[in-house]
């Protein structure tokens, strides 16, 4: 209840501090009989892993995950799946600079007031390192969803001022940015190189899409599919905005333009982003998220210490100049976890339902 669990039927509970001995998670509610091994999880962990290009932090985290339970002879048993990643890159370093002061735009100040005590090493629990466990758990959801014909993928749709059009899924995995347009990659690289020289950071926009979603997932009223997805995406570090389908563009649209008409051949458009009344329509589920620029920059900033005195803060260390670059696998994980949870919830209540009406795309 203190907020480290996601989902209601397919639940993921995580623990771990950035510089503690380990990160871990318990994935509860996975259907039995799913083929699963550590390799399935490692793939997505490696996509999120830092240090794979010059545009992300140069920290070395092998992020080697172990499955400690819930899998027997290569298949899930229906019992909880324990996951563990030991922290290996725990440099013993001097934290006296940040121990008693609050880095601007970080959670230092709020953790301090909420708990009265905090693990200040590398941000402790508030570090984005925690998202490694989301990615590991999301990989389990992805694997099960794939057996149901559902595929969750994401890409970067904007880096700072640079808009990126979707060209192909193949392109996404061919560069360090999850950029779906190969022709834009040189521009992104040049932008990031200049940003590093400026010792500054920048925001990004990520798009995630689920294809093959059946019609009917989502519990209307409060636990709508889009509301829970917004919850999941907004819970990712640095995210400041979430859109479903046309999102904020819908503000200026007229009803005659926005509404997705239905024909026997299918929907004529997908302004809704795959959700109507909180329930999946069978069209692709589409969400966009805005990530803020990280505040861990070396340009000095004003702050206070725990006694209320003015101090100057310079965040040294190995930080991502654009946290959005590594966010795509995390966003995919949160969409997969949301869908997985709603797939199980749907089965619980609606196992008897049979409808002869054809399903549209």
CB 43 within 8 A of CB 63: no
CB 21 within 8 A of CB 27: no
Q: Binding of its own copies at residue 348 (CB under 8 A)?
A: yes
Q: Binding of its own copies at residue 197 (CB under 8 A)?
A: no
CB 156 within 8 A of CB 205: yes
Angle at 198 between CA 192 and CA 200, to 5 degrees: 75
Q: Which helix (H) or strand (E) holds 340?
A: helix 328-350
Q: Which helix (H) or strand (E) holds 81?
A: strand 81-86
Which range binds its own copies by CB under 8 A, 44-52, 54-62, 172-180, 230-238? 230-238
Q: Minimal distance in Å, beta carbon 170 to its own copies?
A: 25
Q: Binding of its own copies at residue 314 (CB under 8 A)?
A: no
The alpha carbon torsion through 251, 253, 254, 259 (nearest 10 deg) reads -100
Which of 64, 90, 183, 350 touches its own copies by CB under 8 A? 350
Q: Minimal distance in Å, beta carbon 49 to its own copies?
A: 20
- The three-state secondary structure class of 279 is strand
Q: Binding of its own copies at residue 47 (CB under 8 A)?
A: no
How far, CA to CA in Å, does 249 sit from each of 153, 252, 269?
A: 22, 6, 15
Q: Which of residues 76-105 bind its own copies (CB under 8 A)?
A: 76-82, 84, 102, 104-105
Annotated binding residues for NADP(+)? 48, 54
Which of 55, 65, 111, 339 touches its own copies by CB under 8 A? 111
Measured distance CA(179)–CA(274) in Å, rounded: 23
Q: Binding of its own copies at residue 39 (CB under 8 A)?
A: no
Q: Binding of its own copies at residue 21 (CB under 8 A)?
A: yes
Which of 178, 219, 325, 333 touches its own copies by CB under 8 A? 219
Q: Binding of its own copies at residue 112 (CB under 8 A)?
A: yes
Which of 240, 314, 316, 361 touches its own copies by CB under 8 A? 240
Q: Binding of its own copies at residue 290 (CB under 8 A)?
A: yes
Q: Binding of its own copies at residue 149 (CB under 8 A)?
A: no
Q: Binding of its own copies at residue 308 (CB under 8 A)?
A: yes
Q: Minimal distance in Å, beta carbon 325 to its own copies?
A: 13
Handedness of CA 341, 344, 346, 348 (dihedral sign): negative
Q: Binding of its own copies at residue 53 (CB under 8 A)?
A: no
- The three-state secondary structure class of 47 is helix
Measured distance CA(166)–CA(169) in Å, rounded: 8
Q: Binding of its own copies at residue 284 (CB under 8 A)?
A: no
Joined together, the tokens standing for residue 33 give 């009989």
């Amino acid at each position: 209840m203190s907020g480290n669990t996601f989902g209601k039927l397919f639940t993921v509970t995580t623990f771990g501090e950035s510089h503690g001995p380990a990160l871990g998670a318990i994935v509860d509610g996975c259907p039995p009989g799913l083929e699963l091994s550590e390799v399935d999880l490692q793939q997505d962990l490696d996509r999120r892993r830092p240090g794979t290009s010059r545009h992300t932090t140069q920290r070395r985290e092998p992020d080697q995950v172990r499955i400690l339970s819930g899998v027997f002879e290569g298949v899930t048993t229906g019992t909880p799946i324990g996951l563990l990643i030991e922290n290996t890159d725990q440099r013993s370093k001097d934290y006296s600079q940040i121990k008693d002061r609050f880095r601007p735009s970080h959670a230092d100040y709020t953790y301090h007031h909420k708990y009265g005590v905090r693990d200040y090493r590398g941000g402790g629990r508030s570090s984005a390192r925690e998202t490694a466990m989301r990615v590991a758990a999301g990989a389990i959801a992805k694997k099960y969803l794939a057996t149901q014909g559902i595929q969750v993928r994401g890409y970067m749709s904007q880096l700072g001022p640079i808009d990126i059009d979707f060209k192909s899924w193949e392109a996404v995995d061919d560069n360090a940015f999850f950029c779906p347009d190969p022709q834009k990659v040189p521009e992104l690289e040049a932008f990031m190189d200049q940003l590093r020289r400026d010792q500054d950071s920048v925001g990004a926009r990520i798009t995630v899409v689920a294809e093959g979603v059946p019609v009917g997932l989502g519990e209307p009223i409060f636990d709508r599919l889009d509301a829970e997805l917004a919850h999941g995406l907004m819970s990712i570090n640095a995210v400041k905005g979430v859109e479903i389908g046309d999102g904020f563009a819908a503000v200026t649209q007229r009803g005659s333009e926005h509404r997705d008409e239905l024909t026997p051949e299918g929907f004529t458009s997908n302004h809704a982003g795959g959700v109507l009344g909180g329930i999946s329509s069978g069209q692709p589920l589409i969400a966009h998220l805005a990530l803020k620029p990280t505040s861990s920059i070396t340009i000095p900033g004003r702050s206070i210490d725990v006694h209320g005195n003015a101090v100057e803060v310079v965040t040294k260390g190995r930080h991502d100049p654009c946290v959005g670059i590594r966010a795509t696998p995390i966003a995919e994980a949160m969409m997969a976890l949301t869908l997985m949870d709603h797939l199980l919830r749907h089965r619980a209540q609606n196992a008897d339902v049979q409808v002869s009406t054809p399903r549209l795309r």
